Amino acid sequence: MKKYNFYAGPSILPQYTIKNTAEAILDFAGTGLSLMEISHRSKEFVAVMDEATALFKDLLNIPEGYSVLFLGGGASTQFAMIPFNLMNKKTAYLNTGAWSKKAIKEAQKMGEVDVVASSEDKNFNYIPKNYTIPEDADYFHITTNNTIYGTEIKEDFDINIPLVADMSSDIFSRPLDVSKYAIIYGGAQKNLAPAGVTFVIVKDELLGKVERDIPTMLDYRTHIKKESMFNTPPCVPVYAALQTLKWLKNNGGIEEMYKKNIKKADLLYNEIDRNPLFVGTVAKEDRSIMNVCFVMSEGNEKYEKEFFEFASSKGMVGIKGHRSVGGFRASIYNAMPYESVEAFVQVMKDFKNKI
């Protein structure tokens, strides 16, 4: 039976990425060695790192004065690296979910954190509006897409202090103006590569201005100077990321991907809104185009287990909602074909007709 992978992360990757990475694990660049055992200092792997960096800049139209890094430690390590490198006395954060809260917790260890707004009062089912960002903050931090709750910030903020964004789960899904950001970062395992590599886009001129002594591995300048090779990088995930970047380039780039993502999301949200068995859990204007969250409608909760089992029997994988929300979650990242979303929508229709 065909499987449809709706896991939130680690998640679906392009077949192009999986096939090419698997081949390189057996024989990398004709060396007769596995990608898993090649020296990261070899000319073959240095070429991979260089090409991945160049494609990253090309696809996102990253302006001069920014560095692209491929690091270990996941986005969770960035929660600490960012205040280490940018925070002098005070920062500002927008609390839109579990990952925001973790980032806030790390920043609070360094100094004052102004949480300008939070949507926790409604279990993070909306993006806060009409809040004030303090002008004296060293930076303002946002999480653009919230995998657990299914909300997304879809526009680039225009503010007067450095803007930092965790884009772990929506990078490359829509166009963005990198020049409006000080740092963009994220774990790769939702839209780019297997877990193990973290991307960071950082504006160089903002570094070196804090008074604290930064641990070597937590100093962005360390990794910029050594072009992401101060220590051994996660070679397999970096190589896989390169394949995904090539796949994105070969398929029309970010603009084309955005059109496809909107089409997929509209198809699924329209069925949720049309089908009386289901109801969305997020304010409509804040719905994510990456993670679609919904529950059984009032009075139909008794069908939740039955629908899960029915959908699973049809090959739908990874659709159970996060324990803090319940219900269902379909993650429809870049690599998810439109046909897979069509298949899931058909399952929703078939279940309605079945009961």
Q: Please compute the mean of the pLDDT values over residues 91-106 and round it to a whole number.
A: 98
CA distance 38 to 45: 8
Per-residue pLDDT reduced to its tens digit, 31-78: 999 999 999 999 999 999 999 999 999 999 999 999 999 999 999 999
Cβ-contact 237, 231 below 8 angstroms: no
- Burial of 117-146, coded b for 16+ CB within 10 Å and e otherwise, reads bbbeeeebbbbbeeeebeeebbbbbbbbbb
CA distance 245 to 187: 15
15-250 shares the fold of 4-11+253-354: no
Residue 1 pLDDT exceeds 90: no
Q: Which is the CATH superfamily of the domain at 4-11+253-354?
A: Aspartate Aminotransferase, domain 1 (3.90.1150.10)
Of 138, 166, 170, 219, which one is the catalytic site residue?
166
- 15-250: which CATH number, 1.20.1260.10, 3.40.50.10490, 3.40.640.10, 3.30.70.260? 3.40.640.10
Of 3, 27, 43, 99, which one is the catalytic site residue?
99
Per-residue pLDDT reduced to its tens digit, 274-323: 999 999 999 999 999 999 999 999 999 999 999 999 999 999 999 999 99
Cβ-contact 49, 227 below 8 angstroms: yes
Per-residue pLDDT reduced to its tens digit, 111-157: 999 999 999 999 999 999 999 999 999 999 999 999 999 999 999 99
Per-residue pLDDT reduced to its tens digit, 147-204: 999 999 999 999 999 999 999 999 999 999 999 999 999 999 999 999 999 999 999 9
Peptide bond into 10 cis (omega under 30): yes
Pick from 220, 203, 202, 250: nearest CA to 59: 250
Q: What is the pLDDT of residue 275?
A: 98
Q: What is the pLDDT of residue 343?
A: 98
Catalytic, 190? Answer: yes
Of 138, 170, 190, 286, which one is the catalytic site residue?
190
Catalytic, 50? Answer: no
CA distance 314 to 1: 8
Per-residue pLDDT reduced to its tens digit, 217-229: 999 999 999 999 9
Query: Which residues on neighbouring strands pair with residue 140, listed in sequence order?
Result: 92, 163
Domain boundaries of the chain, sorted by first residue: 4-11+253-354, 15-250
Q: What is the pLDDT of residue 92?
A: 98
Per-residue pLDDT reduced to its tens digit, 216-261: 999 999 999 999 999 999 999 999 999 999 999 999 999 999 999 9
Query: Which residues on neighbouring strands pair with residue 117, listed in sequence order?
Result: 94
Catalytic, 166? Answer: yes
